[in-house]
Chains A and B, each alone.
Chain A
């Protein structure tokens, strides 16, 4: 090992930039959240207000509703992606001609800009132009108008996210499945175990680390979904698909209520951390019980 000063010099630019773009905003938002600061207010200068912003937040129905929507959305997309992704991975773990080509196609949505994903789905769902409203009307006599029916908007947003991110789940689980040990499964089969028993008692425990990582990553991404929803529904109709990121962005910026917005941002961040932490505890606890 050589002089560690050189090492620090080499890593310094990286740490410096991340300090400016990552840590500083966090500290700043923390400080501002304790201030009453609105540039449109009678007194536009920041002044200390203690926990007043947080007190307001607890009674802010629009904010609480956006949290509820975010949680609902996250629950639906993560569970359905896990189930669909696992099913697909199980089916696709076999060898097949052109596997590489298929895999590449399947990876496409992961690389497409979220804002372009929103645009594609918008083109699929515009009344008069999109095929989805046309065929729903023709075959099922259902009138499908995103800007009018909240349930349709919510379901479409969920479907869009499933289209966008299921490939990630499929591919991670596919990687996990290909590393499964063969002997215990074959042995169990010889011993007369049923398929679901093999799945539950052998495959699932082996897959636990991969599953945990996948759920984690999807959870964090789902909780911060903004771009594609903004493009598809604009958070509407009303505020029915206005998830937490959209809420912070749309409500806070036009109103320039900086102190309140900071408190809101901070609470959203805590929510993400707490949910991930709870999940981590729950999943590791489950593993311990099994062993």
Chain B
């Protein structure tokens, strides 16, 4: 009797509801902090939004701050360039893997994937030294440049794009490009007129997910930039260490940081689990 009640659809529904509440609560609280006036922040916590006392002041303050604007623009440029770069290179590499006989194919595939699994903290020091000592011309070095970050984010995004797109290209019938080659088309024509249009949905998912991964990255950005190329995530961390008391603005920056991920969530939700487990599990 009780057992069947616990297993009833109604209880499952209620359970999902409670779970969703628990998932959303921390983010909801952060939103509340970000739209509350300073005087309302302290005292007994209230979990409801008082619309009459709501303020967008924190967001205005943050968005009109030139330093923060720079960080945000850096993040946008770095994430977008990186997403485009890894999608294009990933597609080419995936096509090569899928259609050509390459010696040591399985080993290459495995090696490419291991790059994503390596703990980033291990590579901070060598990368820092390489960026400051090796890749330098006169006064200019790769350290603290957006270019440096774009290249660096390839280490985790390129294997991901490569892996995701390989599945997509494998799904495109071989006969299509074979027929085009018989008609005298070049590899470039086949890639642009057959593979690219057919891989478009997969490319979109790849670009969106890699964009979010690049946007979310913090450790590399914090150690390999200092002033010019700092990103929104490092800005968020600086808020704690530098102006540690302005919680409203901190919450506003954090909301802006997680906003893109939340916006595209519904679009790519089905691919996230497969993506994070490298296809071992279909979402």
**Could you tell me which A residues sit within 8 Å of B by CB distance?**
1-2, 4, 6-11, 13-15, 17-18, 20-22, 24-26, 28-29, 32, 88, 91-92, 94-99, 102-116, 119-124, 126, 128-131, 134-135, 163, 167-168, 171-172, 175-176, 209-210, 213-214, 217, 220, 223-224, 226-227, 230-231, 234, 244-246, 248-249, 252-253, 258, 261-262, 265-266, 268-269, 272
Contact A168 B92 (CB under 8 A): no
Which single member of A11, A28, A245 contacts B96 (CB below 8 Å)?
A11
Min CB–CB distance A28 → chain B (angstroms): 4
Query: Quick one: CB contact mask for B231-270 with A, threshold 8 Å, 1 for yes?
Result: 0010011001000000100110110011001101110010
| From B12, B112, B219, B262, contact of A111 by CB (8 A) | B262
Contacts of B237 in A (CB 8 A): 115, 230-231
The reply to whether A111 and B121 contact each other, CB–CB distance below 8 Å, is no
Q: List 29 A-B contacts (CB under 8 A).
A: A6-B96, A10-B96, A11-B97, A14-B93, A14-B112, A18-B154, A18-B159, A21-B152, A22-B114, A22-B115, A26-B118, A29-B123, A91-B12, A92-B15, A94-B9, A102-B17, A102-B19, A105-B20, A110-B273, A113-B261, A119-B30, A129-B42, A134-B44, A226-B121, A230-B237, A231-B236, A234-B240, A245-B121, A253-B128
A30 to B31, CA, bound (A): 45
**Chain A residues in 8 Å Cβ range of B96:** 6-11
Binding stretch for chain A, among B54-62, B65-73, B275-283: B275-283
- B102 and A7 contact, CB distance less than 8 A: yes
**B217 to chain A: closest residue by CB:** A113
Q: How far is the CA of A230 from the CA of B124 in the complex (A)?
A: 16
The residues of A that contact B9 with a CB separation of less than 8 Å are 94-96
**CB of B136 to closest CB in A, whole Å:** 15
- Collect the chain B residues with CB atoms within 8 Å of residue A17's CB: 89, 151, 154, 158
Contact call A248/B281, Cβ cutoff below 8 A = no
Most A CB contacts (10 A, CB to CB) among B99, B125, B159 go to B125
Does B196 belong to the interface (CB within 8 Å)?
A: no
A113 touches B257 (CB 8 A): yes
In the bound complex, do residue B129 and residue A123 qualify as a contact, i.e. CB atoms below 8 Å apart? Answer: no
User: Quick one: which of A29, A108, A234 contacts B125, CB cutoff 8 A?
Assistant: A29
Contact between B121 and A163 (Cβ–Cβ < 8 Å)? no
Pairwise interchain contact A14-B272, C-beta atoms closer than 8 A: no
A114 B272 Cβ-Cβ under 8 A = no
Inter-chain CA distance A231–B241, complex, in Å, is 9
CA distance A173 to B123 in the complex (A): 32
Q: Which 5 A-B pairs have the closest CB atoms?
A: A7-B100, A245-B121, A113-B216, A224-B119, A25-B126
The answer to whether A92 touches B16 (Cβ under 8 A) is yes
Contact-residue bracket for chain B = 35 or more
Q: Which of A6, A103, A167 contacts B187 (CB 8 A)?
A: A6
Specify which chain A residues have a CB less than 8 angstroms from the CB of B29 in the assembled complex.
Answer: 120, 123-124, 131
Given contacts A11-B97, A268-B122, 18 further A-B pairs with CB under 8 A are A10-B93, A10-B95, A18-B115, A92-B16, A92-B19, A95-B9, A102-B20, A108-B27, A119-B236, A120-B26, A120-B254, A123-B30, A130-B45, A163-B23, A172-B273, A175-B281, A220-B117, A231-B240
Determine whether the beta carbon of B101 is less than 8 Å from that of A217. Answer: no
* Chain B residues, CB < 8 A from A97: 13
Q: Which residue of the partner chain, among A26, A111, A167, contacts B123 with CB atoms under 8 Å? A: A26
In contact, A111 and B26 (Cβ under 8 angstroms)? no
Q: Chain B residues near A262: list those with CB within 8 A.
A: 125-126
Q: Are B250's CB and A123's CB within 8 A?
A: yes
Instruction: Contact check, B45 vs A134: say whether CB atoms are below 8 A apart.
Output: yes
A217-B125 in contact given A103-B269, A115-B216 (Cβ < 8 Å): no
Q: Does B120 contact A (CB under 8 A)?
A: yes
B143 within 8 Å of A (CB atoms):
no
Of B129, B215, B218, which is within 8 A of A258 by CB?
Answer: B129
Q: Are A272 and B97 in contact (CB under 8 A)?
A: no
Q: Tell me the bound Cα distance from A63 to B245 in angstroms.
A: 32
Given A32-B129, A168-B273, A231-B240, A111-B265 contact (CB < 8 Å): yes
Q: Chain B residues with Cβ under 8 A from A268's Cβ?
A: 119, 121-122
Q: Contact at A261–B115, with CB atoms within 8 Å? A: no
Check if B152 sits within 8 Å of A92, measured CB to CB.
no
State how many angstroms separate the Cβ of A236 from the closest Cβ of chain B.
12
**Closest residue to B103 on the A side, CB-wise?**
A4
Taking the closest CB of chain B, its distance from the CB of A162, in whole angstroms, is 11
Cα of A211 to Cα of B254 in the assembled complex, Å: 33
B229 within 8 A of A: no
Given contacts A25-B126, A128-B42, A168-B276, A269 and B233 within 8 Å (CB-CB): no
Contact indicator A120/B121 (Cβ below 8 Å): no
Considering only CB atoms, which chain B residue lies closest to A265 in the complex? B122
A106 near B121 with CB under 8 A, answer no
Q: Would you call B90 an interface residue if the criterion is a C-beta within 8 Å of the partner chain's C-beta atoms?
A: yes
Q: In the bound complex, do residue A217 and residue B277 qualify as a contact, i.e. CB atoms below 8 Å apart?
A: yes
* Contact of B93 with A265 in the complex, beta carbons under 8 Å: no
Complex Cα distance A226/B115, Å? 18
